[in-house]
Amino acid sequence: MTIRLADTHAHLDLPEILPDQEEVLARAREAGVALIINVGIGLENSRQVLATARKHPHVRATIGIHPHAAASLKDGDLQALTPLAGDPLVVAVGEIGLDFYRRRSPEETQKHWFRQQLEWAYGLKKIVVIHTREATAATLKILQETRSQLRGGVMHCFGGSLEEAHSFLDLGFYLSFAGPLTYPQAKGLREVVKELPLDRILVETDCPYLPPQPWRGKRNEPAYVVATARQLAELRGLSLEETTRATWENSLRAFGLEEKDFLG
């Protein structure tokens, strides 16, 4: 039986992947990865991820500024990206959010640009891809402040509690799981994933980071998303086919995509 997978969060244009991007994409196809969401993290990177999506029919792009880069943003920068958002290959604004773990940008600066980018996304009528690390409460608070305008989104690399998961689900979000779901120390997260509605779960690599077992310590790439799907299947007591059918359909629904565009 063939399986069809979506990697809902990849960084194909970072220096770790660029040198052999074509081979990485070929291996993804062979592994059954029929859709890759290539996620923007900065001004220049957002242009690159869209250029890559234009070259590869199974890749879609998101544009946005990662909280690590928030301190480098200036007024007018988002407006400069706005013309890109008109491209139908741009399926979301992201990744945006808060990262109080590494704190590469000051907390208040991160919050300011998170709010600015949410407003920008609402104006563009786009869903949002959220990054949060050690900042879940603050992230939820900001999302809840503007919930009437939210069109949904994806909480990427989810690693929180069941209660936090439900807060995101209540906002209409999908929860995306990455390689850490397979790590021995992630027992709590594996318990959480058993309790979630299957129709709101996605899988991703966040490559080149966070490779799942058994590729830990190596560079991650979209073909490896199958390991996270396999872990999900085991936790839910389903076959890999049943699990990937669900996550595939969820991915299309989450990003407003049509299956016919990814069957070739």
The residues that touch Zn ion, with contacts defined as CB under 5 A, are 95, 131, 206
Residue number with CB closer to Zn ion (3 or 222): 222
Q: Cβ–Cβ contacts within 10 Å for residue 36, how many?
A: 29
Q: Cβ–Cβ contacts within 10 Å for residue 220, how many?
A: 26
- In angstroms, give the least distance from the CB of 157 to Zn ion: 6
Residue number with CB closer to Zn ion (139 or 247): 139
Distance CA 60, CA 8 (A): 9
- In angstroms, give the least distance from the CB of 247 to Zn ion: 18
Bridge partners of residue 133, in order along the sequence: 99
Residue number with CB closer to Zn ion (28 or 233): 28
Residue number with CB closer to Zn ion (95 or 164): 95
Among all residues, whose Cβ is closest to Zn ion? 131
DSSP for 139-189, please give it.
Answer: HHHHHHHTGGG---EEETT----HHHHHHHHHTTEEEEE-GGGGSTT-HHH
Longest dimension (CA), the chain: 52
- In angstroms, give the least distance from the CB of 2 to Zn ion: 28
- In angstroms, give the least distance from the CB of 263 to Zn ion: 27
Buried b or exposed e, range 58-97, using 16+ CB within 10 angstroms = bbbbbbbbbbbbbeebeeeebeebeebbeeebbbbbbbbb
Residue number with CB closer to Zn ion (3 or 159): 159
- In angstroms, give the least distance from the CB of 160 to Zn ion: 14
Residue number with CB closer to Zn ion (173 or 233): 173
- In angstroms, give the least distance from the CB of 40 to Zn ion: 9
Q: What is the dihedral of CA 168, 214, 95, 201, to 10 degrees?
A: -30
Q: ∠ at Cα 99 (78, 162), nearest 5°? A: 115
Task: Find where tokens 């359909």 sit.
Answer: 249
- Structure letter (DSSP) for residue 257: -
Length of the chain: 264
- In angstroms, give the least distance from the CB of 176 to Zn ion: 10
Residue number with CB closer to Zn ion (126 or 131): 131
